[in-house]
């Protein structure tokens, strides 16, 4: 079966890529989402849960800056230049993953006081909720489209790839 570059990224260099590109960001984002719900219902803008929310928001946003940079530099740009996208499914999977990180970056910027400085806790909470929702939508689009076989839309792997069973592309060598 053919794979999107998104799924290939998660599959190569096991277990490290799965941890780096899926486990760490998802644990941080889920912590953010769960603490958002608590803050929404309690309106307690102090204490352990509030500070855990801030920590998770800042950490996942900064973490995604690194992920977005890495994917743009090592996948999106070289794959685009070489014309090696595996149909629109591949573009949607990788693009949605990159886009999913942007709302989390915005949360980090807000928590660091670089944007939305004049907003009160209630409005900042609304921004958080919208950003978490956007992350969830785009993250799920990335995951679902990433699992689709690009062969459905006509992608055919090169014969040498099938014969040698080499899944990693030159653009996604993550052994470094």
Q: pLDDT tens, 21-71?
A: 999 999 999 999 999 999 999 999 899 999 999 999 999 999 999 999 999
- Is residue 39 domain-resident? yes
Distance set, CA 72 to CA 44, 75, 95, 102, 172 (Å): 38, 6, 10, 13, 11
CA distance 58 to 152: 39
* Burial category of 7 from C-beta neighbours within 10 Å (exposed 0-12, middle 13-18, buried 19 and up): buried
- In whole angstroms, give the CA distance from residue 109 to residue 61: 8
Number of domains forming the structure of the chain? 1
Note whether residue 176 is domain-resident: no
Q: Is there a domain that residue 108 lies in?
A: yes
pLDDT of res. 168: 46
Residue 153 domain-assigned?
yes
Report if pTM > 0.75.
Answer: yes
Q: Give the percent of the chain with pLDDT over 70.
A: 90
More confident residue, 173 or 47: 47
pLDDT, one tens digit per residue, over 14-33 is 999 999 999 999 999 999 99
Q: Check: CB of residue 170 under 8 Å from CB of residue 28.
A: no
Say what the pLDDT of residue 172 is: 52
Give the residue numbers spanning the domain of 82: 5-171
Domain assignment of residue 155, yes or no: yes
Residue 106 belongs to some domain of the structure: yes
User: Which pLDDT does position 62 carry in this prediction?
Assistant: 98
58 and 108 Cβ atoms separated by less than 8 Å: yes
């Amino acid at each position: 079966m053919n794979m999107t570059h998104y799924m290939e990224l998660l599959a190569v260099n096991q277990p490290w890529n799965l941890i780096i590109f899926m486990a760490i960001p998802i644990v941080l984002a889920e912590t953010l989402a769960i603490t958002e719900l608590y803050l929404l219902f309690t309106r307690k803008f102090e204490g352990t849960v509030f500070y855990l929310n801030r920590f998770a928001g800042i950490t996942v946003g900064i973490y995604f800056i690194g992920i977005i940079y890495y994917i743009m530099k090592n996948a999106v740009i070289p794959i685009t230049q070489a014309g090696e996208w595996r149909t629109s499914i591949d573009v949607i999977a990788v693009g949605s993953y990159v886009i999913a990180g942007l709302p989390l970056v915005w949360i980090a910027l807000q928590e660091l006081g670089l944007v939305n400085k004049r907003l009160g806790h209630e409005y900042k909470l609304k921004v958080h909720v919208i950003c978490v929702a956007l992350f969830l939508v785009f993250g799920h689009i990335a995951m679902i489209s990433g699992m689709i076989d690009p062969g459905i839309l006509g992608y055919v792997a090169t014969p040498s790839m099938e014969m040698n069973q080499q899944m990693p592309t030159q653009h996604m060598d993550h052994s470094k």
